[in-house]
Structure 1
Amino acid sequence: MNMFYVINGKKVKRYMLLIVALLFAGGVVYAERDNISVFSPEQPAAIYSVPTDKKVVALTFDISWGDTRAEPILQALKENNVTQATFFVSSVWSKSHPEIVQKIVEAGYEIGSHGHKHENYTKLSDEDIRSQIQTAHAIISEVSGKAPELIRLPNGDFDKRVLRIAGELNYKVIQWDTDSMDWMNIGTDKIVERVISRAHPGDIILMHASDAAIHTQDALPHIISKLRSQGYEFVTVNQLISQTEVSGKVVPDKSAASPIELHQHSF
């Protein structure tokens, strides 16, 4: 018995186009495998905020130079009964100002690392990145009496390579969702307005206690008062992280256009 098969040209064409499309998509995924979100389980994520329904925020302060702003900020926190906050200190500054570091610790605030030298880690070799983080860890641990678990990289500059190395050294990389812009000295009122208009449950708020941030100590009491009036409580970054799973953002290859706004300053 003879069998005849009729081939439909249009169907064959559709199948061929489908196969080509699948192969192309697979090739793109493979080629861009290093540009996929750092929120995937097998990769460390930079933490910008924590999704939670609780009205909690983390006030964070970066310090890498100067000795005139940190103590007034500590006093403002004390006077406004804020017992939980996180200070990211550079090791060079910590070594030069151990008495201020001790005051931060004695007040019960959390200490995080702000690295060693204040330079962009993405421009460093793997070995130098590791050395910068480890050097900072040793100095900050010695000065503060506490081994930091969190790091905010200088200038907020990182890529997947930096994240990977920080993760290998058991650090969580901490960014922010709300930038007070106090480092630009935009004035007390504008700093307060920026923070209050942007703050949300689970937020990490970026401020500075280095000398160039001249309005932070004046803005802080207003920020605390207004957020409290909205029902917010203040926690450390680690306390915030313990609320729930953290949220990550895409970290592209440095050769590609970056959707992340790097925080460039000289603090």
Structure 2
Amino acid sequence: MKRGQDYMENIPIHQGNSNSAKIAFMVNVAWGNEYLEDLLMILKEYQIHLTFFLEGRWVENYSQYALMIKLAGHEIGNHAYSHPNMITLSIEDIKNEITNTNDVIEKHLKIKPAFFTPPFGYFDQRVLETAMKENMKTILWTLDTLDWKIEDHHEVINRIVPRLKNGSIILMHPTKSSLAALPFILNHAAESRLKVCTISELLSS
């Protein structure tokens, strides 16, 4: 078992500082291209930047969309290469899922992600340690929109708005329901004086 600071750094992060009036959205992208441009337009209108966790295979297939996200000023994270359940993999395959995605992102976007989020939120100590060896923090979430299965955007709003608080990390995907719900959530955040920011800004507070 790790001790001291090394051990603390090897715990996944699921929220920011509860004393800071900031929240962050993490957008996991392995599909949903048809909603991406509209999502980016909403974020531009609200003048905010989010953290997009990109699947490596998706970046290879749709590098133009990945570049669009980067050029809009959003932060880029690693969402594994082929969206597997990481805890079913060997250590070698865990490393490949993370490093291959970093390689693809570096190739197309010229950046190295500082954050990793495991598909489905499934992880074990091997996953955390592998990410840490790549100088990456593992990110989970405080609130989940469940937008991949909830079609009614009012349900998404009702899942998120009453629970928003300082330091919240909200998981979403580029879906029709989140696209419709997002302006309502952002307006509520503004009324509550919660600043929407990237994961890196949230964690620096």
Larger Rg: 1
Work out whether residues 196 and 226 of structure 1, in 8 Å CA contact, stay in contact via their aligned partners in 2.
yes
Match of 2:191 in 1: 229
Are the equivalent residues in 1 in contact too, given 2:17–2:203 (CA < 8 A)?
Answer: no
With over 3 angstroms needed to count, the CA separation of the structure-2 counterparts of 1:71 and 1:241, relative to structure 1, is: same
Aligned to 1:87: 52
> What do the CA deviations read for 1:152-196 (whole angstroms, capped 9, x no partner)?
111111011111111111111000001111111241111112111
Q: 8 Å contact 2:17–2:202 — kept in the other structure?
A: no
Deviations 1:201-233 (CA, angstroms, capped at 9, x unpaired): 111110002xxx321111111110111011111
Query: Which residue does the alignment assign to 2:99?
Result: 134
SS of the residue corresponding to residue 58 of structure 1 reads strand
String of CA shifts for 1:29-76, please: whole Å, max 9, x gaps: xxxxx6xxx895332110000223221000110000242011111111
Aligned to 1:173: 138
Other structure's SS at 1:206 match: strand
The structure 1 segments of at least 4 consecutive aligned residues displaced by more than 6 Å after TM superposition are none
Is structure 2 residue 18 aligned with structure 1 residue 52? yes
Query: What CA distance in whole angstroms lies between the structure 2 residues aligned with 1:206 and 1:230?
Result: 19
* Number of the residue aligned with 1:258: none
Structure 2 CA distance for partners of 1:172 and 1:141, relative to 1, 3 Å: same
Task: State the Cα RMSD in Å.
Answer: 1.5
Specify which structure has the higher proportion of helix. Answer: 2
| Residues 1:39 and 1:86: Cα distance change in structure 2 (over 3 Å) | farther
The aligned counterpart of 2:165 is 200
Which residue number in structure 1 is paired with residue 117 of structure 2? 152
Q: Which residue of 1 aligns with 2:62?
A: 97
- Three-state SS of the structure 2 residue aligned to 1:68 is helix
2:39 corresponds in structure 1 to 73
TM-score by length of 1: 0.73
**Which residue in 2 is equivalent to 1:41?**
5
Helix, strand or coil at the partner of 2:6 = coil
Q: Percent identity?
A: 30
- Give deviations 1:127-158, integer Å, cap 9, x for gaps: 11111111011001111221111011111110
TM-score, normalised relative to structure 2: 0.94
Q: What are the ranges of 5 or more consecutive residues in structure 1 without an aligned counterpart?
A: 1-33, 244-267
Q: Is the 8 A contact 2:53 2:76 kept in 1?
A: yes
**Structure 1 SS opposite 2:11:** coil
Counterpart amino acid of residue 95 in structure 2: R
Unaligned runs of 5+ in 2: none
Equivalences, count: 203
Query: What is the DSSP-based 3-state SS (H/G/I as helix, E as strand, rest coil) of the residue aligned with 2:176?
Result: coil
Are 1:117 and 2:82 matched, yes or no? yes
Does the CA contact (< 8 Å) of 2:141 and 2:171 recur in 1?
A: yes
The farther-off stretch of 40-49 and 134-143 is: 40-49
Task: Quickly say closer, same or farther: Cα 1:40–1:193, change in 2 above 3 A.
Answer: farther
Amino acid at match of 2:43: L
CA-CA distance at 1:80 after TM superposition: 2.1
